Structure 1
Amino acid sequence: MIIITIPGRPISKSNFKLYNIHGQAWMPKQGKHSKYIAYENMIAGYINQQYQGPSLEGDIITILKLYFPNKRMGDLHNYPKSICDGIEKSGIIKNDKQLKPVLLFDYIDKENPRVEIELYESSKYKVSYKIEKTG
C-alpha cells in the first residue's frame, strides 16, 4: 500500500484542452494551458519525494480523495485524468491503464485542499464494496 498526498486544489484536465477544427483535443505547452503540464509534473514530483520503492507491476487499485476548498469543484469526473497522468509521469507505474479500478471521493477542506492517492497492488489486495439502503 502506498499513500501519497499532493497539497493544493486539484486541477481538472478538461479546463486546459484546446480543440482543432476536426474536434481533436491537444494540450499546448505555453500560456495558461501550461498550468496543466505543471500540475502533472508537480504530482510526479511529490510521488517521487514520498515513495522511493520499486515500480508497481500489474493492475493497481487506486483510491483518489479530492479535498476542495469550497463547493465550486466543477465536473468531478474530469479530475482523475490529470492525477493519473501525473502518477504515470512519476515512473511509479509504466502506464496509467494499470490504475483500475479507480475509486473517486470528494470532500471539502477549506484549510487544507489536497489530493490523497492510495495505491494497492491487485496481486496483494482485493477491493469490495457494499451499498446499503438508508432508513
Structure 2
Amino acid sequence: MLKFTIPGRPLSKSNFKLTNVNGQAWMPRAGKHSKYIAYENMIAGYINQQYLGPKLENQLITVLKLYFPDKRMGDLHNYPKSICDGIEKSGIIKNDKQLRPVLLFDFIDKENPRVEIELYDFNKYKVEYDILPIK
C-alpha cells in the first residue's frame, strides 16, 4: 500500500474548463484557468517527493480522502479527475486507467485541508463493502 498526502484544498477540474465556439471543452495553459495545471503539477511533485520506487504497472485500488476547510465543496464527482491526472503526471503509473476502482470520501478539516491518496495493488488486495443501518 502506498499513501500520499497533498496539502491544501482539493481542486475540481470542471471549474477550469472553457468551451470553444463548437462547444468543445479545453483547458487553457495561461491565465486564471491555468490554476488547474498548477494543481496537477503540485500533486505530481508531492508524489515524486514521497515515492522513489519503480513505476507501478498493475491495476490499483484507489482510495481518495478529500479534506475540505468548510462545507463548500461543490460536486464531489469532479475531484477524482484532477487527482488521477496528477497521479499520472507524476510518472509513477503509465495511465490513470490503472486507477480503478476509485473510492471517494469527503471530510471537513478546517485546520488542515488536504487530499490523502491510498493505492493498493489489485492483485494483492480486494475491495469489500457493507452498507449497514444506523443503530
TM-score band, normalised by the shorter chain? over 0.9
CA distance in 1 between counterparts of 2:131 and 2:92 reads 32
Alignment match, 2:28 = 28
Give the deviation of 1:134 after TM superposition.
Answer: 2.2
Q: Which runs of 5+ in 1 are unaligned?
A: none
Alignment match, 2:73 = 73
CA distance in 2 between counterparts of 1:36 and 1:21 reads 22
Identity over aligned pairs, percent? 80
Give the AA of the match of 2:51: Y
Q: Give the SS at the match of 1:79.
A: helix
Structure 1 length as normaliser, TM-score? 0.98
Q: Answer yes or no: is 1:120 the counterpart of 2:120.
A: yes
Q: Answer yes or no: is 1:46 the counterpart of 2:46.
A: yes
1:64-103 deviation digits (Å, cap 9, x = unpaired): 0000000001111110000000000000100001100000
Q: Which runs of 5+ in 2 are unaligned?
A: none
Provide the aligned C-alpha RMSD in A: 0.7
Alignment match, 1:92 = 92
Structure 2 length as normaliser, TM-score? 0.98
Q: Give the SS at the match of 1:54.
A: coil
Give the AA of the match of 2:112: N
Q: Give the SS at the match of 2:119.
A: strand
Give the deviation of 1:55 after TM superposition.
Answer: 1.0
Q: Give the SS at the match of 2:134.
A: coil
CA distance in 2 between counterparts of 1:26 and 1:8 reads 25
1:94-113 deviation digits (Å, cap 9, x = unpaired): 00011000000000000000
Query: How many pairs were matched up?
Result: 135
Give the deviation of 1:20 after TM superposition.
Answer: 1.1
4+ runs deviating over 6 angstroms: none
Give the deviation of 1:54 after TM superposition.
Answer: 1.0
Give the deviation of 1:58 after TM superposition.
Answer: 2.0
Q: Give the SS at the match of 1:14.
A: helix
CA distance in 1 between counterparts of 2:108 and 2:89 reads 27
